[in-house]
Amino acid sequence: MKKRVAFFAAAAFCLGCTVTAVAQQSRPTAPDRLMVTIDTQQTAEPVSKYEFGMFIEHIRTLIYRSLWSEMLDDRKFHFPISSTEPESPAPPAGSPPRGLPLRKWRPVGPDEVVVMDKEKPFVGDQSPRIKLDSVTPHGIRQVGLALVKGKRYAGRIYLRGTPGSNVKISLIWGDGPNDRQSVSFAPLTSDYKKFPLTFTSPADATAASFEITGTGSGSFHVGTVSLMPADNVQGFRPDTIALLRELHSGMWRLPGGNYISDWNWYDSVGDIDKRPPMFDYAWNAMQTNDVGMDEFMTFCKLIGTEPYITVNAGFGDSHSAAEEVEYINGAATTRLGAQRAHNGHLEPYHVKFWDIGNEPYGNWQIGRTDLKYVTLKTNEFAKAMRKADPSITLLASGAMPDEMTVTGQARDLRMPDPQAQFGSPADFTGGLLAHSWGSFEGLTEHWYARAGKRFDYEHAKSLAQDAPNEDGYVKVDQTLLEWARYPSDRVRQKAEEWQEYQKRFPAMLEKKIFLSIDEYAYSGAPVNLKLALAYGMVFNEMLRYTNFLKMSAFTMGVSTLDYNSTGAAYNSTGLLFKMYGDHLGSIPVALSGNSPQPAPRYAIAGDQPKTNPGSPTYPLDMFAALTADHKYLTIAVVNATESDQKFDLSATGVRLDGPLTLWQLTGNSLDAANHVGQTPQVQVKEIPLGDVQGKITVAPISVNIYQFPVAQAAK
């Protein structure tokens, strides 16, 4: 008889186990003969298609460089135009870095010929007015565009001017008089008019220029201007879209992130040229506001994924959140559904998953407030949003003790102990369960692990009350295997804490309240084979908890790609996502072994769970699952060591029958990486291995998925 188990048997892992060796300092050793047993009669909840989701937000130029095809920065002229760089105001204390600067518009001619007109701007607060000369061209220029030989570029520009103005738009790829293409517009009128632009580059270029100049008498104004490769797909880059589509992500959480806390969704819809640019105070950056709600929905359709929307619960209110739901999901007969239809999108988007706010617990969050008010806001938002669409699934933004500890938020709340405790004012997840019950179907958690660092509880206790968040971390000496396993600590910690919440709130099981890890990443590490080993172990760890961990979103979705202005390719992380998505089964089965993971080396606090993550197959990490049709048994195996590892495999409930196939991700060294235009150093190879006989050998520094054909139950 088939059994369904919440956890894959005690041999697979143990939550809440008594730890008898908290500080084992000796390095663990593996048995001489590693024995692995698969029991296909013990299954867990199927892997949700949302387990391999993605997250993205408008961090400075992230979306516009990676997804959107626009080539011109500040195309709506948020910034003044000068030949000198204006002095930037100092960012608020504790704010994130500004990141890479935008390409700026510069005057063609003296600075005084360009005046920012604030009286009658086309969009936003100002539009450039250019004073003309009868002989010498005056205007504006942007440098730094990348062009591909033979590629066509198309765009548009809004212009108005005095009758004596003659305007020329030029794409310039070299220094010679013939290294440009130009198109002229005259006469202009006092009203803005849209003009089409088309160019074809006869050469490759990495520092091309785009010029808007004029001659004659009087002046002319530029409203907005746009230039994209003509092969864009509804505004998006065809290369990155094609790659992301092949990842088959179940959902993308968007727009999300800190950015959402001062996002005004009303300004993100409608005519793309009439939307005002905005300054994002979460990331201290200007956004052109081109990729808004409808564009996000188009993007999700293009890559074949479901959108998961986060509403603004920072500076936003429940009324605007409810109206956003109506705009996205309402029939065309509703007020905001009619506005969506007027904007060219007749059919509702039918978005199922909605997240109330982003990291409301963090002192970095715009609109941050205490837990007691977060629970009130959650209840108010839920009521209003469900009134707009009763069919939606709502998630509330929580934070378990591990997150509140490692980010310093427990200390920030003036708790005497920097370690957040269940039921305390720092327990945001517990507070939501206690005071917002009925307002959500799922709870969200975020985690970020620091490469080369760990949270040191004893050190954190000695810090001053107002110490920076990061001061609780210390550098750590780790073996390769310890380094690769470290981010999985946060996943295991979430699972252990979730079990504690189920004890405190038993109705969670009855109501099937689920967990979504909405953001996660191993930060501070280059994207290479070494990082892929760590993420392989993270995948395996998350998939051990399919009974409650139903969704996850990797930070950032485009961090699966290596891209520049003209090309894109999968990096090692992208290859890992694709390999798991293409080849791993969806019905988890019990896996046991004779080599448990070592006991924790450090105090159980912060990012250190009670039991180390991983399967009982040390030094290998394994996860096993049947395919949905039960025709194949698949086993994901991460070997984060620099030597071959061997194991003997046995299976109960099925008979392994037929040739074994292996998909293997590896490279020549730990720092092997993939870059656009270069031969890939990390690859996934399909390797036929024939019938299973004796030991299975796992290559060093590799992530592997073994596929075994199965026959009738073994006797």
> What does the pLDDT read at residue 25?
41
The answer to whether position 168 is within a domain reads yes
Select the more confidently predicted residue: 417 or 113. Answer: 113
Cβ(159)–Cβ(177) below 8 Å = no
Tell me: pLDDT of 692 over 80.
no
Q: pLDDT, tens digit, for every residue of 223-266?
A: 999 999 999 999 999 999 999 999 999 999 999 899 999 999 99
> What does the pLDDT read at residue 693?
65
Residue 536 burial class via C-beta count within 10 angstroms: exposed 0-12, middle 13-18, buried 19 and up: buried
> What does the pLDDT read at residue 19?
34
Average pLDDT estimate for 488-514: 97
Among the three residues 229, 257, 283, which one is the final residue of a domain in this structure? 229
Collapsing DSSP to helix, strand or coil, 704 comes out as strand
pLDDT tier, 27 (very low <50, low <70, confident <90, very high otherwise) = low
Alpha-carbon dihedral sign for residues 314, 317, 318, 319: negative
Among the three residues 178, 209, 229, which one is the final residue of a domain in this structure? 229
- Which of these, 210, 207, 212, 239, lies nearest to 227 by C-alpha position? 210
Same-domain status, 24 and 137: no
Spatial separation of the C-alpha atoms in residues 159 and 221, rounded to whole Å:
6
Q: Which residues pair with 663 in a beta bridge?
A: 686, 705
The set of long-range contacts for 506-510, using a CB threshold of 8 Å and a minimum separation of 24, is 507/437, 508/433
> What does the pLDDT read at residue 553?
97
Neighbour count for residue 682 (Cβ, 10 Å): 24
> What does the pLDDT read at residue 92?
42
Helices (H), 419-512: 428-435, 457-461, 480-485, 488-504, 507-511
> What does the pLDDT read at residue 663?
98
pLDDT tier, 23 (very low <50, low <70, confident <90, very high otherwise) = very low
Spatial separation of the C-alpha atoms in residues 515 and 495, rounded to whole Å:
9
Spatial separation of the C-alpha atoms in residues 688 and 166, rounded to whole Å:
68
Collapsing DSSP to helix, strand or coil, 393 comes out as strand
Same-domain status, 41 and 115: no
Neighbour count for residue 498 (Cβ, 10 Å): 22
> What does the pLDDT read at residue 498?
97
Query: CATH number of the domain that 40 lies in?
Result: 2.60.40.1180
Query: CATH number of the domain that 148 lies in?
Result: 2.60.120.260
Q: pLDDT, tens digit, for every residue of 288-315?
A: 999 999 999 999 999 999 999 999 999 9
The answer to whether position 428 is within a domain reads no
Cβ(67)–Cβ(232) below 8 Å = no
Please report the beta strands in 186-341, taking only residues with DSSP state E, as ranges in sequence order: 193-200, 205-216, 219-229, 251-254, 278-280, 285-287, 306-311
Cβ(664)–Cβ(685) below 8 Å = yes
pLDDT tier, 16 (very low <50, low <70, confident <90, very high otherwise) = very low
Q: What are phi and psi of 15, to 5 degrees?
A: -100, 135
Among the three residues 175, 205, 229, which one is the final residue of a domain in this structure? 229
Q: Which of 264-273, 360-369, 475-484 has the lowest mean pLDDT?
A: 360-369
Tell me: pLDDT of 5 over 80.
no
The answer to whether position 159 is within a domain reads yes
Same-domain status, 111 and 224: yes
pLDDT tier, 712 (very low <50, low <70, confident <90, very high otherwise) = low
Residue 5 burial class via C-beta count within 10 angstroms: exposed 0-12, middle 13-18, buried 19 and up: middle
Tell me: pLDDT of 484 over 60.
yes
Same-domain status, 112 and 40: no
Residue by residue, DSSP assigns 608-671 as --SS--S-SBTTSEEEEEE-TTSSEEEEEEEE-SSS-EEEEEEEESS-B-S-EEEEEEEESSTT
In order of 8, 10, 588, 676, the CA distances from 543 in angstroms are 11, 16, 8, 31
Spatial separation of the C-alpha atoms in residues 96 and 594, rounded to whole Å:
47
Q: What are phi and psi of 511, to 5 degrees?
A: -85, -5
Q: Which residues pair with 521 in a beta bridge?
A: 448
> What does the pLDDT read at residue 15?
41
Neighbour count for residue 331 (Cβ, 10 Å): 13
The answer to whether position 169 is within a domain reads yes
Spatial separation of the C-alpha atoms in residues 81 and 68, rounded to whole Å:
24
Q: First and final CA of the chain: distance in angstroms?
A: 14
Polymer length in residues for the chain: 715
Greatest C-alpha distance within the chain: 95
- Which of these, 590, 706, 585, 689, lies nearest to 639 by C-alpha position? 706
Cβ(146)–Cβ(677) below 8 Å = no
Q: pLDDT, tens digit, for every residue of 180-195?
A: 999 999 889 999 999 9
The answer to whether position 439 is within a domain reads no
Residue 650 burial class via C-beta count within 10 angstroms: exposed 0-12, middle 13-18, buried 19 and up: exposed
Same-domain status, 123 and 202: yes
Average pLDDT estimate for 587-598: 96
The answer to whether position 205 is within a domain reads yes
Q: Which of 602-606, 666-670, 711-715 has the lowest mean pLDDT?
A: 711-715
The answer to whether position 171 is within a domain reads yes
Cβ(527)–Cβ(562) below 8 Å = yes
> What does the pLDDT read at residue 7?
37
Spatial separation of the C-alpha atoms in residues 522 and 527, rounded to whole Å:
10
Spatial separation of the C-alpha atoms in residues 156 and 626, rounded to whole Å:
53
In order of 82, 131, 177, 217, 401, the CA distances from 110 in angstroms are 9, 10, 22, 16, 59
Q: pTM of the prediction?
A: 0.92
Q: Using only C-alpha atoms, what is the Rg of the chain?
A: 28
Same-domain status, 110 and 35: no
Cβ(394)–Cβ(354) below 8 Å = yes
> What does the pLDDT read at residue 6?
33
Average pLDDT estimate for 636-644: 97
> What does the pLDDT read at residue 102?
87
> What does the pLDDT read at residue 140?
98
Domain that holds residue 166: 106-229
The answer to whether position 54 is within a domain reads no
**Which H or E element spans position 104?**
none
Q: pLDDT, tens digit, for every residue of 523-545?
A: 999 999 999 999 999 999 999 99
Residue by residue, DSSP assigns 497-518 as HHHHHHHH-THHHHHT-EEEEE
Neighbour count for residue 482 (Cβ, 10 Å): 16
Please report the beta strands in 293-411, taking only residues with DSSP state E, as ranges in sequence order: 306-311, 353-356, 393-397
Spatial separation of the C-alpha atoms in residues 664 and 532, rounded to whole Å:
12
Q: What's 559's DSSP letter?
A: G
Tell me: pLDDT of 713 over 90.
no
Tell me: pLDDT of 388 over 50.
yes
Average pLDDT, the chain: 91
Same-domain status, 703 and 610: yes
Domain count, the chain: 2
Q: pLDDT, tens digit, for every residue of 625-636?
A: 999 999 999 999
Select the more confidently predicted residue: 94 or 582. Answer: 582
Tell me: pLDDT of 468 over 90.
no
Q: pLDDT, tens digit, for every residue of 314-371?
A: 999 999 999 999 999 999 999 999 999 999 999 999 999 999 999 999 999 999 999 9
Tell me: pLDDT of 9 over 70.
no
